[in-house]
Structure 1
Amino acid sequence: MSASCIIIDDEHPARVLLADYVSKMPQLKLAGVFSNPIEAIAFINTQPVDVILLDIQMPELSGIEFLKSMPKRPKVIFTTAYQNYALQGYDLDVVDYLLKPIKFERFLQAVNKACDLLKLEQKGTPKVMDQVISVKADHRIHRVSIADIQYIEGLKEYVRFHLDGEKLITLESLKRLEDTLPSGNFIRIHKSYIVNKAKVKSIYGNQVQLSNSTYVPIGKLYRNDIMERLFT
C-alpha cells in the first residue's frame, strides 16, 4: 500500500524535481502539487494525505506557519534552501529536513523514515517483545528490537538509542519517539530521556536505575508521573 503524498513549493524547478523523485518511489503516490500552502489547505481538508514535502520560505504563508495551523499533521518533510530553520523543524516534529539542492539518496532516506513511522502507527501495538523498529545510523538501517532498548537519550535534533550492548545515534525527535513507541512500555522521565519500563530496576533519589546498572536522571516535572506509572 502506497502513502498519499503532496508537494508544496513556490519554486517551479523544485516542484518538478520533487515530483520526479516521488515518481521513482513505489511507496509514494503523488496526490497533488501546489505552489503555495493556501492552495493545499482545501485539498487537505477533503483528501487524506500521509506525507507532505513542504518548502519553508514562501510568500503569504510560510511552511512553518502553515504547519502550525494544522490541527492534525501528516508526516512532514521540510525541503528548503535555508539551514537556520532546522531546530524549529524538529520542534514541530517534522520527519526530516532536506537542504536544497536535494540529492535523491538523501530524499530516499527521508521518505523511508516517513513510511516506517506510518507503518508503525498502522500496526498498532502488538506484543512488545515482538516489535522491531528501523533505526538509520552509521549509513545503515538497523533492525532494533523494542525489548533490547534500555533507554533513549535526546541530543537536540538527534537521539541516542542505548541498547543491550550497543549504542546508535540517529537523526530523530525524542518527542516523536515518545508519541510513537508503545506508551505502556516506555516512559519519559526527563526532557532528555525515555526509558523502557521493563528495564527499570529501582528508583534511587532522583535517578532511575536500569537493569544494566546505568543510572538515568529524573526530571522534577516528571517525578509524580513516573511514580504513578511504575508503581501503581
Structure 2
Amino acid sequence: MRCLIVDDEPLAHAILSDYIRKVPFLELVGATTSPIDALSRVQLGEVDLVFLDIQMPELTGIQFLKLVERAVGGNKCRVILTTAYSDYALEGYEHDVVDYLLKPVSFERFYRAVQKLFPKNEPTTPAVVDPAPDDSRNPTPSPAAIPSGSAPKEFIFVKTEYRLQRVSLPDILYCEGLKDYVSLYTIGDGSQPERMLTLQTMKSLEEKLPDNQFIRVHKSYIVAVNRIESIERNRIYIGKAVIPIGDTYRDAFYRIIES
C-alpha cells in the first residue's frame, strides 16, 4: 500500500517513515507538512493510505477527512489518524478512519493499526521483515504476531511536557510511576542519576521497554536488569536507590534472576 505521512512535526515524519519501511506490505511515497498538498495527491489517486495528524495550521485533520470524502467518495484512500490528543477519537471514527494512534506511537501499536487494513479471514497475514526465530514475548506466535526483530532495540521516545525526547535504553536505571506521570532515571554526570518526567502511565511505558532488558518489580517501579547491583530482603539496590519488590511481582522477578 502506498503511504503518505501528513504531519507538521519532523520527528513524527522520522518515526513513521522508519515504521513504514519495516513493514513489507507498505511503501512510503511521501511525507509532507502541507495537508493541501496531501489532498491533491489523494485526489490524483497516488496514495492508498494516509497517516494524518489532526492539529495542523493550514487545515485540521478532521477538515481534511471531510474534503477527502467529498472528493473521492471516502473509499479510495484509507486514513489512520496520529495525534497527541485523544479528544478527536470519536469524531475521527465517524469519518471511517482505520485507526487512531496516540503519540508517541510504538511500533507494536502501529503494526496493529495497519493490520486492520486486511480482512481477518485472509489465509495469510503479511509479516514484518527479518523475524526473529524465537520471540520470548510470544512462545507460540500466530501468523499475525509481531516478531521481536533481528536487531535489539536501542532507544525509545518518551513524551515530556514540550516534546518527544529520545532516550537510550542502556542509559535507563529505573522508572518510578507517579499516577499519570513516570519519572525516568538515567545515567547522569556520574555523581547522581538524571531524572526525566514523562507524560504517560507505567503500563504504556512497560509496553515500550524490551522485556529481556527491563522488568516490573512493583506497581510503581520498573528496573533495568543489567543495572541491578544487589538484592537483599526483597529490596533492589541500584546506586543509592533502594527499590522495593512488590508481592505481586516477587515470584516472577526471582524466576528471571535465577535463570
Normalising by structure 1, we get a TM-score of 0.53
Shift in alpha-carbon separation, 1:16–1:161, aligned structure 2, 3 A: closer
Does residue 163 (structure 1) correspond to residue 186 (structure 2)? The answer is yes
**In 2, are the aligned partners of 1:200 and 1:208 still within 8 Å (CA)?**
yes
SS at 1:139 equivalent:
coil
Q: What SS does structure 2 have at the residue aligned with 1:133?
A: strand
The aligned counterpart of 2:115 is none
Match of 2:29 in 1: none
Q: Distance in 2 between matches of 1:188 and 1:49?
A: 32
Residue 227 of structure 1 aligns to a residue whose secondary structure is helix
5+ residue gaps, structure 2, are 6-15, 17-49, 70-74, 112-127, 129-147, 189-193
Aligned residue for 1:147?
A: 170
CA distance in 1, matches of 2:67, 2:203: 29
Which of the two has higher C-alpha Rg? 2
Evaluate the alpha carbon distance shift between residue 17 and residue 225 of structure 1 in structure 2; reply closer, same or farther with a 3 A threshold.
Answer: same
Contact between 1:6 and 1:30, CA under 8 Å: does it hold in 2? no
Partners of 2:203 and 2:166 lie apart in 1 by: 21
Q: Where do 1:151-230 residues align within 5 Å?
A: 151-165=174-188, 166-210=194-238, 212-230=239-257
CA distance in 1, matches of 2:155, 2:55: 36
> Residues 36-72 of structure 1, C-alpha deviation per residue, up to 9 Å, x if partnerless?
xxxxxxx9xxx784748754897xxx99xx9xxxxxx
Amino acid at match of 2:60: Y
The answer as to whether partners of 1:5 and 1:31 remain within 8 angstroms in 2 is no
* Equivalent position of 2:11 in the other structure: none
Distance in 2 separating the partners of 1:139 and 1:57:
22
Deviations 1:59-107 (A, max 9, x none): xxx99xx9xxxxxx9554xxxxxxxxxxxxxxxxxx4xxxxxxxxxxxx
Matching residue within 54, 60, 76 for 1:21: 60
Paired with 2:88 and 2:170, the residues of 1 have a C-alpha distance of 38
Q: Using the alignment, how far apart are the partners of 1:218 and 1:32 within structure 2? A: 54
TM-score by length of structure 2 reads 0.48
Maintained 8 Å contact 2:52/2:79 = no
Q: Is the 8 A contact 1:150 1:196 kept in 2?
A: yes
Give the CA deviation at 1:31: 10
Higher relative helix content: 1
Contact residue 174 and residue 223 of structure 2 kept, 8 A: yes
Per-residue CA distance 1:159-180 (angstroms, 9 max, x = gap): 1101112110010121111112
- Report which of the two has the higher share of strand: 1
Aligned sequence identity (%): 29
Asked if structure 2 preserves the Cα contact closer than 8 Å seen for 1:6 and 1:32, the reply is no
* 1:137–1:170 contact (8 Å) kept in structure 2: yes
Q: Decide whether aligned partners of structure 1 residues 57 and 50 sit closer, same or farther in structure 2, where only a CA change above 3 A counts.
A: closer
Structure 1 residues 127-178: Cα deviation after superposition (integer angstroms, max 9, x where no partner): 35xx122234353543311000000111111111011121100101211111
